[in-house]
Structure 1
Amino acid sequence: MRRQRVQSGTEWEEKVGYSRAVRVGNRVFVAGTTATDEDEVVDGDAYDQTKRAIENVERGLTEAGASLDDVVRTRLYVTDADDWELVGRAHEEAFGDVRPAATLVEVSRLVDPAMCVEVEVDAVVDEHGGE
């Protein structure tokens, strides 16, 4: 099966050996994505960072021929589980009626101390126009 790789151009993809997103058939997997803008972490609280991370996820999905509407699973990694309401609000605003299966997990830290959330998604693209 053909594999389509989507790169965002960050230095980390080359250093670590990963792709922002990979599409195989009608499935799209988006790697853990943070609130970065041109390799700098966006200032803001967990809501702002989640919103930006999801926007970055959306770019990867689009390049792979998918959209937020195709997302069936999200994973949210946070450095403080008490931020769940802020993270949840940004998630709900982005996914609304899509309502993917979701997991939120507290981790001890992310790769940059300024990061407080990382988002990962799986999507299934309906290639035939029906459900």
Structure 2
Amino acid sequence: MRKTFGTGSVWEQKVGYSRAVQVDNTLYISATAASGEDGVVGADFYTQTRFILDKLGTVLADAGFDYADVVQSKLYLTDISQWEEAGRAHGEVFGEIRPSLALVHVLPFLDPKMLVEIELVAQKSTS
């Protein structure tokens, strides 16, 4: 089974991607930034990370998953020295769940106000 989830963004059609793709019992969520209706939300690593994780909670729920199903998390940071602030927000959501984690230092994103992007993989237990 393969199912795609979108946001309706013009970029999804233009670039050819989905917000999330479910294959059987696994959900792959594309890298997501702190973009809201009025542009980038937050000007620091903690606020952006927390906003993104809340946004991804909705993506998970829409696909029938939960934070507890997340097995892998990747945080892309434009300033690796700010990893503790991003990590603090990540720990507030995943502290007890403890998915695998990658902290990746990247060049600036298309919009320089974007400081963080997060990508998740979630998997439902088959037992």
- Tell me which residue corresponds to 2:15: 16
The correspondence of residues 30-49 of structure 1 with structure 2, limited to 5 A, is 30-38=29-37, 40-49=39-48
Q: Tell me the TM-score normalised to structure 2 length.
A: 0.94
**CA distance in 1 between partners of 2:67 and 2:38 (Å):** 23
Q: Does 2:121 correspond to 1:122?
A: yes
Give the aligned length. 127
Please report how far the alpha carbon of residue 23 of structure 1 lies from its aligned counterpart in structure 2 after TM superposition: 0.6
- Tell me which residue corresponds to 2:72: 73
Q: Is the 8 A contact 2:32 2:118 kept in 1?
A: yes
Q: Residue deviations 1:54-89, cap 9 Å, x none? A: 112111111111111100000000000011010000
* Aligned AA (2:29): V
Please report how far the alpha carbon of residue 39 of structure 1 lies from its aligned counterpart in structure 2 after TM superposition: 6.3
- Tell me which residue corresponds to 1:93: 92
Please report how far the alpha carbon of residue 21 of structure 1 lies from its aligned counterpart in structure 2 after TM superposition: 0.6
SS at match of 2:7: coil
Identical-pair percentage: 43
Q: Tell me, which stretches of 5 or more residues in structure 2 are unaligned?
A: none
**CA distance in 2 between partners of 1:46 and 1:11 (Å):** 26
**Residue 37 and residue 29 in structure 1: after superposition, are their counterparts in 2 closer, same or farther (change >3 A)?**
same
SS at match of 2:28: strand
Q: Does 2:102 correspond to 1:106?
A: no
Q: Tell me the TM-score normalised to structure 1 length.
A: 0.92
Runs of 4 or more off by more than 4 Å in structure 1? none
Please report how far the alpha carbon of residue 127 of structure 1 lies from its aligned counterpart in structure 2 after TM superposition: 4.7
Alpha-carbon RMSD: 1.2
Please report how far the alpha carbon of residue 125 of structure 1 lies from its aligned counterpart in structure 2 after TM superposition: 1.1
**CA distance in 2 between partners of 1:39 and 1:56 (Å):** 15
Q: Is the 8 A contact 2:33 2:116 kept in 1?
A: yes
